[in-house]
Amino acid sequence: MAVNWLRKLASHKRAPVFPVLGKQGDKALRYLALSPEIELVDSPRHASVLLIAGEVPADRLEPLRRVHDQLPDPFTTLWFRNEPWPHLENVDRIDDLTDLPAALTKAHRELMTGQRDSGCRILSDRPPNPWKGEGDFGQGGEGMMGGVPYGRPMAMNMQEDISDGLTLDSLTFRLGPFFMAFPPGMAAEVTLQGDLVQSWETQLEPYPQRLDAVFFNARKHPVPIAEIELARARHHLQRLYHALHLAGLEALSLSSLRLAHGLSTSSTLDGLRRRLVRSGFFHLAAVGGGLLNTEQARQFGGPAARAAGLADDLRSHDAGYRRLGFSPVCQNGGGVSARWKQILDEVEQSLMLARQAERDEVYTNDVDCIETPRGPWDEQPPEDASAILDEILPGLEWGDALATIASLDIAAVADRGGGTQSPGESRAVQGGSGNVVK
């Protein structure tokens, strides 16, 4: 009786959801971030529903199985635009984004009230290495070290520290592809000594990102500058959301997301920028590291390059933009904080260009080379840049390293259009107003 009462009360909790992002899953993530009845959590231990959002490529299925099995009982799964594994019973597939929050809530509620059984484990219940019965106490090791106590070796790989040369244990592990602070799909093999990164090797590149359809249209025919600039600003604001979320500025990250969703030519960045500066983000948070040198910045292109002082922007060659008096804005830092200042400046500039262009009805001119929010696209779309992380992350403190990743738009741009959304859905994603360009 008491248990029933407890479960009934528990079913009123906002559904705690751990999102596993497949391709284009980040759209669902941003939609859920603004849904009041959903609580997105950072660790599967804190969730009762595992959301698999989008198609998960085959090379990430093994990690997905691992994460699936890491949710404590009782738990269930929900599949968004992805076919549930056949042996999972009583799990739903949802395809419409607007149905997602309700479906997640329902899953959590049914789980709590006992209408739905907890999910089954997929991986077999075996330790990573056999150890039982070995060693003096059956703990799997000999004496103080050696062997595989409790199924895993002890950290014994004494390496010299790259900063002070002390010889202590380093910890090597593979992180991702479903780690919240990484771009969707990225995985890396990391060696830490203390909380300093000793080596970083990106193993799985993040999924290519699909930009707004307007960037693909702009490669076919001239498009209104107002429209393309709003899409650019929206892209940057969505990235800002992820970074501010990581920095612990929950309220500001949601403001940024709301601004992105309701973006129109009458939007202004002033309020958000003021609050961000006043919060001390540029002084307190982990924005110290992540310096790109000129060569890396050039390789990267786009806002990251302009933040390092390279005034390269394909828009300055476009006759349409020249009519609007466009000239690229730059910073001269090249680090995390310079990149975020650059992003804020570029969003502001985009909004201004959009306003002017809407008034004068200016269209883009060049179609064979356009500047995407990720970087220049002349012959090839911007390519994946996750290899740069291997160079710049070693030596950084853990928080600085993750803030650096968040500040870089490393994913490649898919050369297929982002126009796969139905109009109704794009309205849902963009908070009702969408691209307000007449």
Task: Give the whole-angstrom CA distance, residue 320 versus residue 340.
Answer: 27
In the bound state with other proteins, the residue whose beta carbon lies nearer, of 49 and 353, is 49
Tokens 């660790």, located at residue: 43
Alpha helices, H only, 95-196: 100-113
CB of 366 to other proteins, least distance (A): 40
Phi, psi of 193 (to 5 degrees): -125, 115
In the bound state with other proteins, the residue whose beta carbon lies nearer, of 192 and 231, is 192
**Which residues, in sequence order, are CB contacts of 74 under 8 Å at separation 6+?**
48, 111, 112, 117, 118
CB of 323 to other proteins, least distance (A): 38
- Secondary element (H or E) of residue 189: strand 187-193
CB of 138 to other proteins, least distance (A): 13
CB of 437 to other proteins, least distance (A): 26
In the bound state with other proteins, the residue whose beta carbon lies nearer, of 286 and 357, is 286
Let me know if 409 is exposed, middle or buried by CB neighbors in 10 A (0-12, 13-18, 19+).
Answer: buried
- Secondary element (H or E) of residue 345: helix 336-360
In the bound state with other proteins, the residue whose beta carbon lies nearer, of 98 and 327, is 98
CB of 358 to other proteins, least distance (A): 28
Length of the chain: 438
Peptide bond into 74 cis (omega under 30): yes
CB of 222 to other proteins, least distance (A): 38
CB of 406 to other proteins, least distance (A): 9
In the bound state with other proteins, the residue whose beta carbon lies nearer, of 247 and 305, is 247
In the bound state with other proteins, the residue whose beta carbon lies nearer, of 122 and 311, is 122
Query: Do the beta carbons of residue 331 and residue 309 sit within 8 Å?
Result: yes
Q: Write the DSSP assignment of 50-113 as a string of letters.
A: EEEESBPPGGGHHHHHHHHHTSPSS-EEEEESSPPPTT--S-EEE--GGGHHHHHHHHHHHHHH
Count of other CB atoms within 10 angstroms of residue 433: 12
In the bound state with other proteins, the residue whose beta carbon lies nearer, of 16 and 309, is 16
CB of 387 to other proteins, least distance (A): 19
In the bound state with other proteins, the residue whose beta carbon lies nearer, of 345 and 400, is 400
Tokens 């200042």, located at residue: 341
